[in-house]
Amino acid sequence: MTEETHTGTVAHWDDARGFGFVTPDAGSADVFVSFATIEGDVRLAAGERVEFIAFPTPRGPRARTARRVGEATGKDTGGIKV
């Protein structure tokens, strides 16, 4: 995954722990998103559309920045993938 703007859907978000995962539209590996990387309201919900910039890490892609671009569908499509 290159450091350019991508879009995807929140697969899982854990408010208590302040992180979750986004499934990119491009079909690449899920991206780890921390509350610290989110622009604006730091609460996301499964099914919301987001734009993000990701970078590779040894544990998989991680968002450098993320922002909401759509409303939640309420569907949780995954669990915590650690």
Domain ranges of the chain: 5-68
CATH fold for domain 5-68? OB fold (Dihydrolipoamide Acetyltransferase, E2P) (2.40.50)
- What is the reported pTM? 0.79
Spatial neighbors of 22 by CB under 8 A, at least 6 apart, are 8, 9, 10, 11, 30, 31, 33, 50, 52, 63, 66
pLDDT tens-digit readout, 17-74: 999 999 999 999 999 999 999 887 778 899 999 999 999 999 999 999 999 996 655 5
Q: Check if the beta carbon of residue 13 is closer than 8 Å to that of residue 81.
A: no
First-to-last C-alpha distance (Å) of the chain = 19
Spatial neighbors of 11 by CB under 8 A, at least 6 apart, are 20, 21, 22, 23, 30, 46, 76, 77, 78
